[in-house]
Structure 1
Amino acid sequence: MIELTQQKIEALAPNAEAAKKGRDLVKKNKFANLKINAEKNLIWGECAGSGKTPYYCSADYVDEHNPVFRCNCPSRQFPCKHSVGLLYSYEADATKFVEAEVPEDILTKREKIEKKQEKKAQEKESIKEKAEKPKKVNKAAFIKKIDTQLIGIETAQKLLRDVVTTGLSAIDVKMRSTLKGQIKELGNYYIGGIQTTFNNLLLSLEAVEDEQYTEVVNNLNYLSALLKRATDYLTARKADPEATPELSSAIEEQIGYTWKLVELMQYGQYEENATIVQLSFNSYDNPARKEYIDEGIWLNLKTGKIFKTMNYRPYKATKYIKEDDSVFGVLQLKDLYIYPGDTNPRIRWEADGSIERPLQKEDFATIEKWASGQFADTVKAVKSTIKNPLADKHPVVLLSLHKAYLNGEDLVVEDSNGFAITLKDITERAISATANLRAFLPAEAKGISLAVMMHNNVVTGLLSAQPLSLITSEKIIRLLY
């Protein structure tokens, strides 16, 4: 049974523009010969286009959690505006859809999908089987790759020395152009993460105003630490190719490695039947990677661990990669894969292995249970983390509040021991999470949890927290969106 709302359709559309164009098609009465099957899980019809022949589109909900959209138009978007418009037509007036037999071409495509799903299920079992087997390493190929990476790192170190020797203020437009070409060459050495870090440095140089080099210096320090750590790490890996890679940090990805699911399982970076809830969601631009990033903050209701999801949308493919959206329920996952990392490791799962249910009263109680009521211990752990030059400088933690008050212009929260943390936005945005919170956070805040992103101001020495969401016994209030 197809159940549609405008909110669900907007979530399925690849972007806001496709949703708008789909609505416009309905308003212009572009759809005809609208049909629905007896099982009420497939709709199809024709949509008039610019040519003589209409487009033939359908929405197949045989798997309600993973609908399949088909259209013979040339668009590379999935679903295209015609399929989105078909959904809006059904949502507006389902009675316009006349019951009919499923077309032969769709029956054939359904059979192919069933076979693919069976194969995928077998592959998943194969992943588990492979994970249980000892990992075999081709030592010669492994060492050859590391040698190439170490040569690339030497090249990167020379490039960094040239930047420092030249002097930041002496790096003009011409030299930045030369640097850009040299950075591009780093892509030949399997060190994509290091290459991205150099791009970050170049962007910070281009953004300098009034001789303010703080961000440039931060990038230089990070890059210097990364090159040294990468050299030591890869040298050790070369000496013992069969040793377990480092899993407590993201050093492999920071260098440029891409993890495979079977590897995550082999190293125990995997959890079955996980239950997670999204605490916060935000999309932002990363010019260094030339892509947009959708970042979700998630709490594992069983373990209390806070994770991140990162959906990367390269500039060139923005129209064709669906933007992630907020999730307001609880996800029950068959398989949860956890990438190596420190405080908030990255996670992923397969869409067909997830079921969403509404948040229940006991879920809010569980969230409160995992929130820290000992701010001193939390701050100590955060400071220990950010001392590592390669660790995430903005770890996310969950705080259990006792009191809230203004200290001058600053909003402050306390635990039951009177330990205080100042709330401040990390960067200036059109939406101020702290200002939003200030408008309604009660002075007596017992029973309320706050998801925050920590930030250490190197100039003032103040460790503050940017609020992301407020969790009460009944709802999650998002402050940053």
Structure 2
Amino acid sequence: MATITEAYVDSLAPNAGAIKNGRELVKKNSFPLLHETDDGTLLFGECKGSGKDPYRCSVDFATEGNPVFRCSCPSRQFPCKHTLGLLYARALGKAFTTAAIPQEIADKRDKAEKREEKKKDAAAEPDDSAKPKRKVNKSALVKKIAVQLDGLGILEKLVLQLTQSGLGSVDKKTLQMLEEQDKQLGNHYIPGAQAGLRAFVIIMQPEKDRETVYSAAMEQLLALKALTKKGKAYLEQRAADPDSPMDIDTNLEELLGHAWQLAELREHGRVQKDAKLLQLAFMSYTDEARGEFADTGWWIDLNSGHIRVTRHLRPFRAARAMREEDTFQAVVKTEELFIYPGDLNQRVRWENATFREPGATDYAAIKLLAAASFPDVIKQVKNVIKNPLADKNPVMLVAFQSIEQFDEKVILRDASGKQLQLEDFEENGRQTTTLLSLLREEELKNQAALVMFRHHLDDNHLSAQLMSIVTGSRIIRLLY
């Protein structure tokens, strides 16, 4: 069973309200009975509710890294505040008495084990090459691609029209026309391209100062132009040969709107075994163009040093019913890490995992994994951002000798004296350089820093924002 800490329980809660309510139950001594089994894999008890009978709740760790929550309450929230309260009781040191597993839960465990055995038997093959490949309905695929190509053709004409007429000609009437075209693109199975056009409309909203947004608008047009060109070439090739493989090396499929399934990623070999990750930074933001909230975490792979990204997407219409992700403090160990196609900071997911508290050896390992040469880092970042379809804000872990301030400038300096100027990105809406004055002097020397980069098209300037600092004893999160 995973070590149960308050941070771990916080990570399981669907929202901040559930965290507060679960903690309150413990403070009010609402659990007259708290039990655990001999092997520690099951926590169960009773919690006082609004009725005369208490709610029976349990958290089952029979499958390590994948707890099962059960409660007799009528709440539709999952996990409910009662099961969270049970975990908070353990994390806060409440006494649990040893008791035999309830028969009802034993029966459910038995059924779950039989289901898993059937899955394993069904999946068993002599070797990987003998596993059947996913069957593709070629006729349906070709029809879908034809509709997608039609949509990209519409988008291509719009981009050409906007480029030829110039951004200065974009008025309220033009934006209304673009909004109507954007809605039509919703019928062409290219939600990524549709969101890209919507992003342009948002950038060019009438109430904004046009002079200040022209660079961002032009950057968006360049991205749309590249997407239509590469997207059309890719889809035309697949239409001509439906048996040709999907693009699993770049983010093109995702930009066109494909939602990768874990089974697909496994089939294409995009799985890393026995991964260990630790989150270095976290930020939630609103993506108006896509109509969703994005809970984004940046993690370091403790084996390879790669900076990975988790992105939990909550559509506006369903946000209230979905669990909201939050900062995560523990080291995540998972047997299977699914890696999405992409560039520098590839998105990852996992199904089951175990957790442990990070220690000095983890922080020391992170510092050793940090890139030591700023020129090498900048070269790698520039190779990424020169692709208009790549992530506009690549993130790198760098080793620095010092953080220094000159007048109003803040710089990172590497061991060879090379500098990296730090700024606060307006689009993030969060300042990090101002927080440096709160840190101790030793935390600003010979440490590692997680840094986000941004290329400014107007003056070809590359800037960086400090996200977090890793010392020998802790992670200092500045961007949150």
| TM-score after normalising by structure 2 | 0.86
**Partner amino acid for 1:268?**
G
Deviation at 1:346, TM superposition (A): 0.9
Distance 1:6 1:335 in 2: 25
Distance 2:4 2:342 in 1: 39
Query: Structure 1 residues 201 and 127 mapped into 2: Cα distance closer, same or farther (>3 Å)?
Result: farther
Are 1:304 and 1:370, in contact at CA under 8 Å, matched by a contact in 2?
yes
Report SS of the residue matched to 1:146: helix
Query: Structure 1 residues 127 and 147 mapped into 2: Cα distance closer, same or farther (>3 Å)?
Result: farther
Are 1:447 and 1:473, in contact at CA under 8 Å, matched by a contact in 2?
no
* Aligned position for 1:337: 338
Deviation at 1:341, TM superposition (A): 0.7
* Aligned position for 1:305: 306
Deviation at 1:390, TM superposition (A): 0.8
> Mapping of 1:248-287 within 5 angstroms?
248-287=249-288
* Aligned position for 1:65: 65
Distance 1:148 1:188 in 2: 8
Query: Structure 1 residues 94 and 130 mapped into 2: Cα distance closer, same or farther (>3 Å)?
Result: farther
Deviation at 1:441, TM superposition (A): 7.0
Are 2:8 and 2:330, in contact at CA under 8 Å, matched by a contact in 1?
no
**Percent of residue pairs identical:** 39
Are 1:295 and 1:311, in contact at CA under 8 Å, matched by a contact in 2?
yes
> Mapping of 1:32-111 within 5 angstroms?
34=33, 36=35, 38-39=37-38, 41-49=42-50, 55-63=55-63, 65-88=65-88, 94-95=94-95, 102-111=101-110
Distance 1:374 1:395 in 2: 17
Structure 2: 5+ residue stretches without partners: none
Distance 1:31 1:457 in 2: 56
* Aligned position for 2:143: 144
Deviation at 1:421, TM superposition (A): 1.0
Are 2:6 and 2:91, in contact at CA under 8 Å, matched by a contact in 1?
yes
Distance 2:208 2:320 in 1: 33
* Aligned position for 2:201: 202
1:301-335 Cα distance to aligned partner (Å, 9 max, x none): 32222211111122233233222233333322211
Query: Structure 1 residues 141 and 37 mapped into 2: Cα distance closer, same or farther (>3 Å)?
Result: same
Report SS of the residue matched to 1:242: coil
Query: Structure 1 residues 275 and 24 mapped into 2: Cα distance closer, same or farther (>3 Å)?
Result: closer
Farther-moved stretch of structure 1 (163-172 vs 205-214) = 163-172
Are 2:332 and 2:356, in contact at CA under 8 Å, matched by a contact in 1?
yes
Farther-moved stretch of structure 1 (228-237 vs 323-332) = 323-332
Are 1:47 and 1:82, in contact at CA under 8 Å, matched by a contact in 2?
no
1:124-152 Cα distance to aligned partner (Å, 9 max, x none): 76798478656665443332222221012
Are 2:37 and 2:99, in contact at CA under 8 Å, matched by a contact in 1?
yes
Query: Structure 1 residues 76 and 196 mapped into 2: Cα distance closer, same or farther (>3 Å)?
Result: farther
* Aligned position for 1:20: 20
Report SS of the residue matched to 2:246: coil
Are 1:127 and 1:262, in contact at CA under 8 Å, matched by a contact in 2?
no
Distance 1:390 1:38 in 2: 53
Distance 1:428 1:237 in 2: 37
Query: Structure 1 residues 104 and 143 mapped into 2: Cα distance closer, same or farther (>3 Å)?
Result: same
Are 1:276 and 1:301, in contact at CA under 8 Å, matched by a contact in 2?
yes
Distance 2:205 2:120 in 1: 49
Are 1:131 and 1:262, in contact at CA under 8 Å, matched by a contact in 2?
no
Report SS of the residue matched to 2:453: strand
Query: Structure 1 residues 366 and 53 mapped into 2: Cα distance closer, same or farther (>3 Å)?
Result: closer
Query: Structure 1 residues 308 and 461 mapped into 2: Cα distance closer, same or farther (>3 Å)?
Result: same
> Mapping of 1:160-171 within 5 angstroms?
160-161=159-160
* Aligned position for 1:291: 292
1:137-195 Cα distance to aligned partner (Å, 9 max, x none): 54433322222210121122344456567875666667645543432332222211111
1:327-350 Cα distance to aligned partner (Å, 9 max, x none): 333322211111111111111111
Distance 1:452 1:124 in 2: 43
Farther-moved stretch of structure 1 (101-110 vs 126-135) = 126-135
Report SS of the residue matched to 2:222: helix
Query: Structure 1 residues 135 and 107 mapped into 2: Cα distance closer, same or farther (>3 Å)?
Result: closer
1:380 partnered with 2:376: no
* Aligned position for 2:420: 421
> Mapping of 1:421-460 within 5 angstroms?
421-427=420-426, 431-437=430-436, 439-440=438-439, 442=441, 447-460=446-459
Distance 1:367 1:303 in 2: 10
Are 1:404 and 1:444, in contact at CA under 8 Å, matched by a contact in 2?
no
Are 1:404 and 1:442, in contact at CA under 8 Å, matched by a contact in 2?
no
Farther-moved stretch of structure 1 (232-241 vs 339-348) = 232-241
1:242-282 Cα distance to aligned partner (Å, 9 max, x none): 33433332011001112233332343322212222222222
Farther-moved stretch of structure 1 (316-325 vs 124-133) = 124-133
Q: Which has the higher contact order (CA 8 A, sep 6+)?
A: 2
* Aligned position for 1:185: 184
Query: Structure 1 residues 123 and 349 mapped into 2: Cα distance closer, same or farther (>3 Å)?
Result: farther
